[in-house]
């Protein structure tokens, strides 16, 4: 399809390719790893791929999802008991995301077609309890944030009710939920095909998801996290997205999405040099293009890795990346 050329209505095929690859590896991790049908959650977790590479981010998230789907809704200590307690720290971001997605899917499948506020409140509280009972200490936010993704993709008519239910448990959880909504937006059908101008329309559409400015900021940060991480191997896509954000005056939201994804990648692949250097080295060009890269991408990424990441890792607060925070707030969290 790329043969149609840059003048075609359809463009940006590399971004579509990246989306399909990440989604496919997540969705069919069982085929990728040869996991038999009917395997228990513990058996699934034992198949976790060992190598910390970009391909395995999505497979590991799929393993977390498969394990969550295989577990009962009364299970406890899924990631803290037995052999699961020895799974590597580098797998915690995708494992918790996959497990939280599975718990949300299972619980919301049990809701009636037109649930009452009480039904939603009860289901959301049960979801929060299930996440807390099965995540590693300090990773509650990383497990609960995918609720926003599931609701936005599968139950968009319940967004307001679920956001209110999260707020009732703890006010900050409302913003965590809307961050997950933003991540989910990257995979809704309307944002999948690479039409010309699709990135700008996607971001403008995300800005209209909610009228609350704090919720909107988290929606955008979550969306831009997804754009950065999914396309990590193709920085030109990230740079193109930054240009759209520049046009829309969304520097802070882009910066948070960028550095959150880069710091998450550092945690998932601590020995990686290639991708990290791509985002932290300034371009040698002295023209406007080089200055744009330095201001929007390389400087915030480098400063976050040097000044924020060590403290977040030391204090076991990597899950704080799942909510919009200014660089100063992230520094305080670290």
Q: Report whether pLDDT(37) > 70.
A: yes
Average confidence score pLDDT of the chain: 93
Give residue 81's pLDDT: 95
Q: Report whether pLDDT(262) > 80.
A: yes
195-246 residue pLDDT tens: 778 899 999 999 999 999 999 999 999 999 999 999 999 999 999 999 999 9
Average pLDDT score over residue span 125-154: 98
**pLDDT > 90 in the chain, percent:** 86
Average pLDDT score over residue span 107-121: 96
Question: In this structure, which long-range contacts are made by residues 36-44, counting pairs with CB atoms below 8 Å and at least 24 apart in sequence?
Answer: 39/66, 39/70, 40/70, 41/67, 41/68, 41/70, 41/71, 41/75, 41/78, 42/67, 42/82, 42/83, 42/84, 44/70
Residue 121 to residue 172: CA distance in whole angstroms: 16
- Indicate the burial class of 292 (C-beta count within 10 angstroms; 0-12, 13-18, 19 or more): middle
Q: Report whether pLDDT(98) > 60.
A: yes
Q: Which is more confidently placed, 328 or 177?
A: 177
Q: Report whether pLDDT(331) > 90.
A: no
Average pLDDT score over residue span 125-132: 98
């Amino acid at each position: 399809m790329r043969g149609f050329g840059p003048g075609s209505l359809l463009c940006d095929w590399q971004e579509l390719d990246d989306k399909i690859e990440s989604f496919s590896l997540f969705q069919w991790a069982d085929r990728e790893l040869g996991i038999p049908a009917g395997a228990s959650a513990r058996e699934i977790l034992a198949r976790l791929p060992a190598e910390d590479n970009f391909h395995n981010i999505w497979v590991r998230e799929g393993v977390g999802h498969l394990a969550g789907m295989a577990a009962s809704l009364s299970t406890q200590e899924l990631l803290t008991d037995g052999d699961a307690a020895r799974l590597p720290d580098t797998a915690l971001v995708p494992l918790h995301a996959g497990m939280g997605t599975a718990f949300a899917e299972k619980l919301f499948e049990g809701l009636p077609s037109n649930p009452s506020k009480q039904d939603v409140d009860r289901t959301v509280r049960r979801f929060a309890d299930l996440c807390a009972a099965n995540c590693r200490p300090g990773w509650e936010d990383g497990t609960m944030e995918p609720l926003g993704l599931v609701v936005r993709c599968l139950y968009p008519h319940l967004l307001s009710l679920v956001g209110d239910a999260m707020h009732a448990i703890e006010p900050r959880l409302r913003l965590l939920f809307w961050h997950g909504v933003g991540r989910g937006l990257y995979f809704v059908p309307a944002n999948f095909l690479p039409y010309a101008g699709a990135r700008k329309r996607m971001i403008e559409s995300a800005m209209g998801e909610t009228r609350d400015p704090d919720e909107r900021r988290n929606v955008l940060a979550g969306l831009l996290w997804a754009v950065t991480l999914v396309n990590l191997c193709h920085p030109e896509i990230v740079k193109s997205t930054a240009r759209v954000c520049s046009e829309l005056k969304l520097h802070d939201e882009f910066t948070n999405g960028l550095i959150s994804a880069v710091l998450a990648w550092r945690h998932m692949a601590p020995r990686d040099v290639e991708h990290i250097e791509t985002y932290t080295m300034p371009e040698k060009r002295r023209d406007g293009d080089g200055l744009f890269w330095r201001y929007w991408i390389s400087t915030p990424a480098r400063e976050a890795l040097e000044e924020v990441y060590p403290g977040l890792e030391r204090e076991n607060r990597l899950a704080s990346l799942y909510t919009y925070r200014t660089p100063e707030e992230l520094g305080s969290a670290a």
